[in-house]
Structure 1
Amino acid sequence: MLRQMFPRTALVSAILAISAACADEPISTPLASPPPTNSIVIGDISDEPIEAISQTQPFADYVAAKLEAFDIGTGEVKIAPDMATMAEWLEAGDVDIYIDSPYPALIVSQRSGARPTLRRWKDGIAQYNTVIFARADSGLNSLEDLKGRAVGFDEEFSTSGYLLPLGYIVKSGFKAVELKDAAAPVPADRIGYIFTGEDDNTIQWTISQKVAAGAIDAPSFEEIPESTRAQLTVIAQTETVPRHVVLFEPNMEPQLQAAISGALVSMEETPQGKSILRLFGDTSEFDRIPSQHDPLQSARELYEKIQSQ
């Protein structure tokens, strides 16, 4: 078989010429994408900011990791001292996402223009209501029996420990009055209420007869030890509302809001997502609210009833 051969010196010269030519050409290397420069901000209202941040930060990090296409790479948590401040932050775009129970969500929504589009199953619960209870041996069996007496509520911004029970009392035709001291006299034609600071106090104040009755959410009432719960009787139960709703910054781009919604709704589908949900207030899932349904309507009606009394 015949092969055409180059002289050795010619071959070396050719290689050197090719190498010289290549040296004049710039070597192209893939350019690394610049890191994302923006952040997604999750807002919360709390008087214990360190605890709130530690619980929410992993959730914020998870959401941010799903938004690289929007130049978002980090998640931040911002804690407001009250509903007015949170409304200001949402309206100004300083907070992107705010998640809370219907009463604070209603106030923040009205003041900021943010609208709820998702529901959060906090503590594994999609919706809940409040029970008003008294000692079983108190002889109190109805709201009528509470006239001239005091009821213990949780806090003034609580859905289950303020809006639902007070709204139910007013909606049922009774007049209510706030008390600053549990021992203060209550007009005979009114039902008094006083803030206890937390559900455990409400239960204890009722058992010790510091107040005639208490109001806490139904799931918490069911968690009272059976021996203690046997000493109590339920006087009334309020209507049911969503456990938590999700508000987005009112001027958020629709594509970004859709991406965040998709990320939240699909969290329960992966082991990582489930783990983050458990850390975030034992959340079991997020689901979508039908566009024609207003999840805050019941809260709005109760709030208007309270304001009109």
Structure 2
Amino acid sequence: MNKLTATLASAALLLSAGTTFAQDVLRVSAIPDEAPTELARKFAPLGAYLEKETGLKVQFVPVTDYAGVVTALTSDKLDMAWLGGFTYVQAKERGKVIPLVQREEDTKFTSKFIANTASGVNSLKDLKGKSFAFGSASSTSGHLMPRFFLQKEGIKPETFFKNVAYSGAHDATVAWVASGKVDGGALNSSVWDKLVEGHKVDLTKVKVIGTTPPFYDYNWTVRGNLDPALVKKITAAFLKLDAKNPEQKNILELQRATRFVPTKPDNYRGIESAAREAGLLK
């Protein structure tokens, strides 16, 4: 057996034995529930921290829509992704994925219902016959759960509202309502609070008219075949983030988190049930 033949035979043996090779890049993405520039800005310090903790280069991979994140994660084009509860359920339906951690705030998340102040709307009932916007069709807090709770109140969006539109992102929904493009809308409470705190929403043009009951939402999820040792490193890195450490406090603030806590598939059974009831998951 010559040297080339021996090398090829060794390679074939390794592949047939299912041997995996060490990875040197951690490919990470997030559902595009905000502008791409904002997502990249918020992730940068976290990415640098994860590089130190894992010893891998961390690459943020932007995507254009929610479905793209689910597809990339379940086809091994991504190693980890920031998902909403609904996109996690969609990913779980398509392949093996592992939810690792969530912000403590995500164990009791809510959505806001907002209205244009000039529309004369003061409650959800006042929106009858008026225009309404959800965020992305795949958004947990911008569509699925607001729809679920509207239906619990006897409001079927497609017949109750004059028309239903999808803005694609939480901040876009606020912009649509503020401009009068639609009379009302639904969005993630955390994004609403951030926009208000940053003076990026004109409260003379937009007001809150309701808040949903709490539900589990966002999490960091990895592909199911990621190296278990790496999964442990990533999980430990998130769980040890401490607001008492100035550098880590900045990371947590950008993630709008007080701390990260472990999560599990069972936390999202309510969202899965809501999705099936709403006809959004077959």
Structure 2 counterpart SS, 1:216? strand
C-alpha distance in 1 between matches for 2:46 and 2:27:
11
- Please tell me the residue identity of whatever aligns with 1:170: Q
The one-letter code of the counterpart of 1:85 is G
Supply the distance in 1 between the matched residues of 2:39 and 2:202 (Cα, whole angstroms): 33
Q: Does 1:216 align with 2:187?
A: yes
Is this contact kept in 1: 2:178–2:202, CA < 8 A?
Answer: no
Q: List alignment gaps of at least 5 residues for structure 2.
A: 1-21
Note if contact 1:44-1:98 (Cα within 8 Å) is conserved in structure 2.
yes
Q: Which residue is 1:61 aligned to? A: 48
1:43 pairs with 2:29:
yes
Q: CA deviation at 1:238?
A: 1.6
Aligned residues of 1:43 and 1:99 also touching (Cα < 8 A): yes
**CA apart distance, 1:302:** 2.3
Match of 1:160 among 122, 137, 141: 141
* Root mean square deviation, CA, Å: 3.7
Alignment-mate amino acid for residue 119 of structure 1: Q
Alignment-derived partner of residue 299 in structure 1: 271
User: Deviation digits for residues 96-152 of structure 1, max 9, x if unmatched?
Assistant: 21113223333233223213231035xx77642123244678665654443333223
TM-score normalised by length of structure 1: 0.65
SS class of match (1:274):
helix
- 1:17 counterpart residue number: none
What do residues 172-198 of structure 1 show as CA deviations (whole Å, max 9, x unaligned)?
Answer: 333222xxxxxxxxx5x5663223455
Instruction: Choose 1 or 2 for highest CA Rg.
Output: 1
TM-score (norm: length of structure 2): 0.70
Looking at structure 2, the residues matched to 51 and 144 of structure 1 have their Cα atoms a distance apart, in angstroms, of: 34
1:283 deviates by: 4.1
By how many angstroms is 1:41 displaced?
1.9
Q: For 2:267 and 2:57, locate their aligned partners in 1 and report how far apart those are by CA, in whole Å.
A: 30
Deviations 1:13-71 (A, max 9, x none): xxxxxxxxxxxxxxxxxxxxxxx962222122449656544542442332232234xxx
Residue 303 of structure 1: how far off its partner (Å): 1.6
- Select 2:131's aligned residue among 150, 153, 169: 150
- 3-state SS in 2 of match to 1:302: helix
Cα distance change on mapping 1:202 and 1:115 into 2, 3 Å: same
Q: Does the residue aligned with 1:156 lie in a helix, a strand or coil?
A: coil
- 1:119 is paired with a residue whose SS is strand
Segments of 5+ residues of structure 1 without an aligned counterpart are 1-35, 178-186
Calculate percent identity across the aligned residue pairs. Answer: 21
Q: Report matched runs for 1:22-171 at 5 Å.
A: 38-46=24-32, 49=36, 52-68=39-55, 73-120=56-103, 127-134=108-115, 140=121, 143-171=124-152
Asked whether the 8 Å contact 1:101–1:242 carries over to 2, the reply is no
Answer 1 or 2: which has greater helix percent: 2
